[in-house]
Structure 1
Amino acid sequence: SRPVMRALGCLDRALEKVMTLFGNVKKQIDQKYRLPKFAKVILSGVKSEMLASISFVEAHLELQNKELNEEKGIWNERLARVDALYKKLNSYGYKNRKDYFDSAEDDPDLELIDIIGDINRAAITPEAQEDYSNTLNTYYEEIRASEKVLSALKKMSPIVSSLRASSIEDIEKAFSENECSYLLNMPNIISFERILNDHYG
């Protein structure tokens, strides 16, 4: 009925006002009394995230090095194939492909031309060499970056474990004094927002 709907509407508006008032009061209380608690919550979360991040970065480094070694292995196998083909060609008395084509020697079974075809297909072009070098450089850069992060995490872990913080600034100062502030700007490593969301829901 309409009277009931009006009553529910009034109740809804009243509840909204109460919640707004409650939010303002809670904000004032938090600003005055709960900031140290927030700092403790964040500090506890930072400790947990750092431990998890150390394990994650170590595993990531292991994977990066494994992939790097696989890339090198594939490349070395490719070099070995080309080298083996040239040795096979050399066994017939030819130093290289040009030497064969400059010769008037008969190749009735086309055995040598087949070897040269294999060499052509397996040949390493300048573009392939450049791609390989770029791939290695990318891995080296990523590994150096991961090693830097891991070193900073291991450096800060005991510092954070013994830290007594009454504000977020105390936590940030500890990282700054140890030249590790950049860790706080890496959300995948440490995130105050994620810590608070996990704690308060």
Structure 2
Amino acid sequence: MTKYDGDEAAQVHRHLHSHLPPDPALRVKALESLVVERGMVAVETLDAWVEAYAEKIGPKRGAQVVARAWLDTEYMARLLEDASKAIAEFGFEGHATGDLHALLNTDNDHNMVVCTLCSCYPFSLLGMSPAWYKQSEYRARSVREPRKVLQEFGVDLPESTAIHVWDSTAELRYIVIPQRPVGTDGWTEEQLASIVTRNSMIGTDRDLKVEAE
């Protein structure tokens, strides 16, 4: 049975910051090994958590929110007014969505989110954050040269489209609502949700793909 001790957790935190390797993957592995060794969490618990957020939750919750907004103009209005309250209609509220704002992409505006800390990511909607999202290079360059960064993600915007970069914090998080693709008239909410990508809700993906039938 695992146990939790606040003083030990603080000690582990200090140890990690002074000894963990710089590579994110190695840092995660070191963290996992240490907390398991100290008896603070079971391996089975970690595996279940990873599976839940990678496979079952992932970006699927956020995709459901986007699909509902595309279909229901009243829900879209509620989402843009108070995203935290709107997602509670799905039962998705939680620690990572306490103060959530929805940003709407249009022909003339494109929104892009960066984060100063990993805690700023709305993981209960989007699942685990991608490795590149947590790197300082992405955060810094997105602010300085967002159009160039988007081009590297395959998003080539005309000069007439304004790019808005939003810096989320531990108190304020964002979800981008991408534009609904042409050719999806008559689609169900489930069908629409299936084409919404995690990156489109961060703002590094724009033109969602609609498979030809």
User: Where on the TM-score scale, by shorter chain, does this alignment land: which range?
Assistant: under 0.3
Structure with higher Rg: it is: 1
- The two structures have a TM-score, normalised by structure 1, of 0.26
Q: RCO (CA 8 Å, sep 6+): is it higher in 1 or 2?
A: 1
Q: Where is the strand percentage greater, Structure 1 or Structure 2?
A: 2
Task: Identify the structure with the greater helix proportion.
Answer: 1
